[in-house]
Amino acid sequence: MLKRRLFSIISFMLILLLCFPAAALGKGWDDPTKPGWGNGEKAKHGWIVSKMNHMTLEEKIGQLFIIHMYGQTPTDPDFEETNLNNNRGAKNFKKAIEEYHIGGVIYFNWSQNIGNPANIEQVNALSNGLQDIAMDQRMPIPLFISTDQEGGIVQRLTEPGTVFPGNMALGATRSTDLAADSAGIMGSELSSLGINMNFAPVADVNVNPENPVIGVRSFSEDPDLVSDMAVSQVQAYQEEKVVPTAKHFPGHGDTNVDSHYGLPIINHDLETLRNVDLKPFQAAIDAGIEAIMTAHIVVPALDDSGLPATLSKPILTDLLREEMGFDGLIVTDSLGMSGANVVEPERVPVEAFKAGNDILLNPPNVEQSYNAMLEAVESGEISEERIDESVYRILKAKMEKGLFGNPKTNPDAVENIGSEENLAKADEIANKSITMVKNENNVLPLSTEQDVLITGPSLGEPEYLAEQLADKGFNVSDYATSTSPTQGQIDEAVSRAKDADTVLVTTYTANTNPSQQQLVSALESTGKDVVVSAIRNPYDLMAFPEVDGYLATYGNRDVSIEALSSVLIGEVNPQGKLPVTIPELYDYGHHLGY
């Protein structure tokens, strides 16, 4: 009897080993690169299915979420109360991984994951610590560790990392090689910090001068240029083993509402959508991109329900999946943004998932969102087969990036962050991006014999620009105003202009800011030479076309301000070409030089 029972047990174990090798290997089975699995697509598929067969429903649902937590370490005691008070569902990263089996995290500066400037050893240790915790669970699955590193005005890793000019600056260079260089360096630096997913590049085609949220985050108004630039960056990120994410589908380039605070409507017809907005996304899909992020925008031509794209099955499933042929990861934009919250809060993740999303990014209430998804499956509203579709895609992406083999990064890799070579590339891009649009009577370059006043909103960095010119031997003074200058500040700027030969105004989205327009107008009335440098959007000239000189800088990062100073004094000949039209004034491609 004992022999028969022993034989039965051994037979069962052999069958289990042959049919489900994952079940027999314990935590050692978490690496599909180990001998025995093979490298073919069939073997990879079998490995993923085997993994999923041993996941609980709770573990599968957890994989759908990428969340933020406050803290500099996996168990940071200084932020426990902050996490609980902000509906993070747990007191620290470790507890969130254990309780919700989350699929990933997103790093921000304001959540203290990445400082400004960054402590690169701390970020590296945080990433490795999080992966250790994830791989020590009952079901070891590595994390997506993500951030927004677009370049320009949206960069989470700044100094001592390499700070690059943004996308519109790259568009002004017309160089796909430089676009690839910037993405390759950013990808390498992110990877050295353990960040394996980047919510970039921006594939939106900016055709609206009043767009409050995209603007210089877009490469251009030309869909072909945007496509070429985006594809070059996708390929560069992939070479650095970072998952790129094209955003914001189906195109956020023609809005005058910020979806962080409202719900924009895109009234393009189908022909325009296909020829403009969708074109860069199709190019990215054809290039093999792994992830696409949705937009919280209403597009009536694609879905007349009034729902934003993030919650729209016709847009995400019918269009993106079926018509455009995308089988990678569909990622929501942050579910905490106002544009996504057009249904009850607990319904947002459920409706987003039903629309076709795979990853639910940054829900405002982690516990509520997780439980809502769990209840939707248990009630039959969402089938477990549909859950499996998304979990399969998630595990496949993690496997193909080698995360199951080794999700951690070498601490010594941080030594290459912000190298001289990397910084030189950022300088090259900035110098080639500055665009001279207008130069009446050769008011530029500036002369050391002139007294120059630099004024404008503090966001336009008048003080830093003045420092750069002073260091180069120029007689310069500066006066910073608020973003919307008060009448008192305007009067003070006019008073100071009386002692200057030339006034340089550093505007910051002045085309939609009447107070900045009044500042420029008042300075023009002094009779002095007035030169404007649009530090962010190049459209500012629309509001004051009579100024003597005008340049487009495309961003207020130090690297761009330094390049601007070199152009202003003739040290660098401006080479940038307008990547957008300035309506009724200057065409796409316009540029001047010395």
Residues recognised as catalytic: 260, 333
What is the Cα–Cα distance from 253 to 173, expressed in whole angstroms? 20
Cα 394 to chain centroid distance, Å, stands at 19
Close Cβ partners of 49 (under 8 Å, ≥ 6 residues apart): 392
For 175, 274, 559, the CA distances from 278, given in Å and listed in that order, are: 22, 5, 32
DSSP string for 194-249: T--EE---B------TT-SSSGGGSS-S-HHHHHHHHHHHHHHHHHTT-EEEEEEE
Structural tokens at position 89: 């569902």
Reference 297, options 283, 315, 285; nearest CA is 315
What is the Cα–Cα distance from 414 to 416, expressed in whole angstroms? 5
Cα 492 to chain centroid distance, Å, stands at 39
Reference 312, options 347, 272, 278, 352; nearest CA is 352
Is 533 in contact with 567 (CB distance < 8 Å)? no
Sheet strand arrangement including 475-481:
435-439, 549-552, 529-534, 502-507, 451-457, 475-481
**H, E, C per residue of 95-138:** HHHHHHCCCEEECCCCCCCCCCCCCHHHHHHHHHHHHHHHHCCC
Give the position of tokens 């030169």.
Answer: 531
Quick check: helix, strand or coil at residue 298?
Answer: strand
SS3 content of the chain, % helix, strand, coil (to 5): 45, 15, 40
C-alpha dihedral sign at 313, 315, 321, 326: negative
What is the Cα–Cα distance from 169 to 181, expressed in whole angstroms? 14
What is the Cα–Cα distance from 319 to 321, expressed in whole angstroms? 6
Query: Pairing relation of β-strands 149-151 and 154-155?
Result: antiparallel
C-alpha dihedral sign at 97, 99, 103, 105: negative
Name 154's bridge partners.
151
